[in-house]
Amino acid sequence: MTSIAFTTTIPQEYIWPTSHVPLDLNNYFITNPDPMKFIDSGERKGMPRNTCSWIKGLLGVLDDLAERISVIIAVTEGDCSNNHALINMYQYYYPHIDIIRFSYPSDKNPEKLKMELDKLGSYFGVSYDKAMHTKKILDQLRSKINKFDLLQNEKNTLSAKTVQQLLVSTTDFNGDYNLFNSQVDAHIQKLQGQQAITDKIKIGYTGVPTIYNDLFDYVENTFPIKVAYFEVEQDFSMHWLKHDLIQQYLAFQYPYDLFNRIQTINMEIERRSLKAIIHYVQSFCHRQIDAALIQKLIKVPVLLLEGDTPGPLDMRTKIRIESFMERLQDENR
Ligand code: SF4
């Protein structure tokens, strides 16, 4: 059995019916005990130093994975402008791996999206109906993940890191959705038996997944703060549960315009009673430009953080977090 790898969230409904398993390269990169080795490898292969670390890592992880990957699905519209150059690198260093280019059409045209889905279907020999059948199976799990997320928002007993990792792993269900299902069941059962923690100030997290490995632990263990919302991670989990694949991948907000994302963030601020947002940007990422509008249009105070390489928070970022959280506590006494 080989893995079908991808560079961001894609319609995994087309992979599960094959004899292969989905593999999100981002998850492999960031959960490795030593992600820096992949960045170093990406640079040795020619990635400029002033390239986003995720992109360097997505090239570097092939050191470990090249033998077990037969195909990489690279998203060329709606994700990252660096992906075109990344594809060239994959083709040069790993000619045995097929590359499929997948696009989320920026005009949200359903017919164009259907053509993209059909492209996956024809490569993998999976019909739309078969992918829909898989969607129905995965949607049962996604609906359970929604329940888990809202229960956690009510009880606030699990660490933010646990919740963030679970949500971000829904892009490939760690290669085994039955096992993932059991893990979600266990979390739900545990949460149902716990007393809610109500004396913390709730905040949310928006922007691409952070490259810092201790951000959530630092915030929650140092201040009376609970991180109770993860914007992009929730989006990755396909929580809107639309009735068909086209609607589902049009409701997915990350690849499309910023204003729908902002509307959703403001809705979740209301629904979860969030008092502030940490908005994270990655060094050398074009999405940094969005931060200016996020700061203007979000209804609560926003702390903008930037990260570069994987690892713990640096002292300067810790000081900025500290002064923001102290002000937030003063405002919410
Ligand atoms: S953080 Fe930005 S630059 Fe880096 S991979 Fe993601 S979208 Fe691309």
DSSP-derived secondary structure letter, 199: S
Mean pLDDT of 105-125: 97
- CA 79 to chain CA mean position, Å: 11
pTM higher than 0.90: yes
Q: Which residues contact 165 (CB under 8 A, 6 or more apart)?
A: 31
DSSP 205: E
Provide the pLDDT for residue 150. 94
pLDDT exceeds 90 at position 111: yes
Residue 1: the pLDDT is: 79
Residue 50: its H or E element? none
pLDDT of residue 46: 97
Mean pLDDT of 284-292: 93
Query: How far, in whole angstroms, is CA 141 from its chain's centroid?
Result: 17
CA distance 306 to 295: 14
Which of 282, 283, 305, 308 should be mutated for ligand 1, with most atoms under 8 A from CB?
Answer: 282
| Ligand 1 pocket, residue 280 CB under 6 Å | no
Q: If we measure between CA atoms, which residue out of 174, 177, 181 comes closest to residue 17?
A: 177
pLDDT for the residue 225: 97
Integer angstrom CA distances of residue 44 from 40, 61, 108, 299, 310: 6, 13, 38, 44, 18
pLDDT of residue 10: 97
Given this model, what pLDDT does residue 298 score?
A: 97
Distance between CA atoms of residues 173 and 195, nearest Å: 29
pLDDT in tens, 2-57: 999 999 999 999 999 999 999 999 999 999 999 999 999 999 999 999 999 999 99
**pLDDT band for position 333 (50/70/90)?**
confident
The response to whether residue 55 sits with its C-beta less than 6 Å from ligand 1 reads yes
